[in-house]
Amino acid sequence: MSERLRPLGLIGGMSWHSTATYYRHLNERVAAARGAHASARISLQSLDFSEVRACQVADDYARSGRMLAEAGRACEAGGAEVLAICTNLMHRNFDDLVAAVDAPVLHIADAVAEAALRAGHRSVGLLGTRPVMELDFYAIRLAAYGLEVVTPDLEDRLEVDRVVFEEITQGVFSDASRDRYVDIMRDLESRGADVVALACTEIGLLVPPAVAPLPVLDTALVHADALADLALDPTLPVPRPTDRTALPA
């Protein structure tokens, strides 16, 4: 292992609850690997989620793309050599960020796909906000690794999305919502999913693995783990689906 830690850039605050998970997990991984007082080198840009949420509601992803690009450049100015967006939904602006910076950006779905394949999974149930479940920007990334994607039906997608924005991104974690998510996971399993990607970075705070009825990939932890690997070994390349197969046109 290299003695040098590769500096990371995190674009977070969407929401801050899961960004705290990233920060804690990255430092725990580095401390475990290096010992003593070792901690991760992190340049963090924590956005005001109310501003980002306004872009989401207005479907103004041009504006949010500019916000993420500015944050990415600030991370780079702070020394970051690998960047990450600490949320699933805002990977709709992944290409905007990539175009704005020189450093590579680790896509959260690439980290999820790599983790799924390592664990022997082939069919991923997708739980997240409606755009993550309904648009192709996320599923197409998983499919590039040869993974099948299963999503909830419309009624369940509406409820998953409601809980994300009305509850868990505001720090509310209720037993009733946890139970509903577990029921939705069971339905995904019945339709062939052998693992569920918790594709909103706060869902793992609501449904821990011990409660889930089938294996889960907590995307916040999976993404942070991949970032920790890159920090600890600066010679590692940033995973991309084109390492396996080309993204569909």
Q: Which residues are catalytic?
A: 87, 200
HEC profile for the chain? CCCCCCCEEEEECCCHHHHHHHHHHHHHHHHHHHCCCCCCCEEEEECCHHHHHHHHHHCCHHHHHHHHHHHHHHHHHCCCCEEEECCCHHHHHHHHHHHHCCCCECCHHHHHHHHHHHCCCCEEEEEECHHHHHCHHHHHHHHCCCCEEECCCHHHHHHHHHHHHHCHHHCCCCHHHHHHHHHHHHHHHHCCCCEEEEECCCHHHHCCCCCCCCCEEEHHHHHHHHHHHHHHCCCCCCCCHHHCCCCCC
The separation between CA 51 and the C-alpha centre of its own chain, rounded to angstroms, equals: 20
